[in-house]
Amino acid sequence: MSLPVHLVPDLAGVAVGDEVGVDGDEAHHAVAVRRLRVGERVVLTDGRGVSATGAVISTGKRVFAVGVEDVARTQPPSPTVTVVQALPKGERGELAVEVLTEIGAARIVPWAAARSVAVWKGERAERSLAKWRSTAREAAKQARRSWFPEIAPLASTAEVVASVGAATTAVVLHEDGAGRLAEVELPETGELLIVVGPEGGLDAAELAAFEAAGATTVRLGAEVLRTSTAGLAAVSALLARTPRWA
């Protein structure tokens, strides 16, 4: 059975035999909700490539401590995957973040596309971004990732165009795209960026700007997927052609 994973702020310098304390909401959920007990083995990670495995040696109301038995340090997966996700309506945004985190995206960028139904402004923007980040954190623990994804602040179309231009390879999903995912030239290193449009589709100006910045426009297939699942399908198909999934 897989060991439960808990996020801690920092594991730099941690070695076998050290004691690591976990506190705050992370510890409260483990102790009060999951009923974590002394002797139970867990995995701690800082979300930046370091994981420590060990047994719980003490618990408190909002704290527990782990005796480190093993430390693993990993490099970030390559190529890195960035998904620009147009804002979906309702809870579909959290669904997109959850599955993209599970599949291995390194960065997810919420994007205010011209035809996005959802609008992030003021307090709603802060709450929505916080939900995306919380969703990514929990999904990363569930997926046992040692590198947690970054959930970037809300991006404008101009900012997405700049990101497309900076990426090693950029792909835009579009139902009328002439390209095929199987024909996209993929890098072994660098950044692979995928742009997922909103429910209403990309408008002509957005599409032209992305293509001018160097993106390849592709069609997933005969079926038209929802914006919340199109990214998952595209990332899966592309990663299957990289050394990450070879």
For strand 179-180 and strand 216-219, is the pairing parallel, antiparallel, or unpaired?
Answer: parallel
pLDDT at 129 over 80: yes
Q: Is the pLDDT of residue 221 over 90?
A: no
Question: Is 246 a residue whose pLDDT tops 80?
Answer: no
Q: What is the mean pLDDT of the chain?
A: 94
pLDDT given for residue 206 in this prediction: 97
Q: What percentage of the chain has pLDDT greater than the value 90? A: 86
How high is the pLDDT of residue 134? 97
Residue-level pLDDT at 88: 93
Tell me the pLDDT tens digit for each residue of 41-62: 999 999 999 999 999 999 998 9
Contact between residue 28 and residue 61 where contact means Cβ atoms under 8 Å apart: yes
pTM for the whole structure: 0.93
Q: How far apart are CA 172 and CA 32, in angstroms?
A: 45
Pick the CATH number of 80-239 from 3.40.50.300, 3.40.800.20, 3.40.1280.10, 1.10.150.120: 3.40.1280.10
Residue 1 has pLDDT above 80, yes or no: no
Torsion angle, alpha carbons of 82, 94, 133, 53, to 10: -90
Task: Please give the CATH number for the structural domain made up of 5-73.
Answer: 2.40.240.20
Kindly indicate the confidence band of residue 188, based on its pLDDT and cuts at 50, 70 and 90: confident
Angstrom distance (rounded) from CA 169 to CA 186: 7
The pLDDT value recorded for residue 52 is 98
Q: According to the 3-state scheme, what is the secondary structure of 44-96?
A: EECCECEEEEEEEEEECCCEEEEEEEEEEECCCCCCEEEEEEECCCCCHHHHH
Q: Hey, where are the domains in the chain?
A: 5-73, 80-239
More confident site: 161 or 118: 161
Average pLDDT over residues 75-80: 95
| pLDDT of 17 over the 80 cut | yes
Question: Percentage of the chain with pLDDT > 70?
Answer: 100
- The pLDDT, as a whole number, for residue 182 is 87
Structure tokens at 229: 């699942």
Give the pLDDT mean for 162-180: 93
Local confidence band at 2 (pLDDT 50, 70, 90 cut-offs): confident
Residue 117: DSSP 8-state: S
> pLDDT tens digits, residue range 104-116?
999 999 999 999 9
β-strand pairing of 80-86 with 63-73: unpaired
Q: Distance between CA 9 and CA 208 in Å, rounded? A: 42
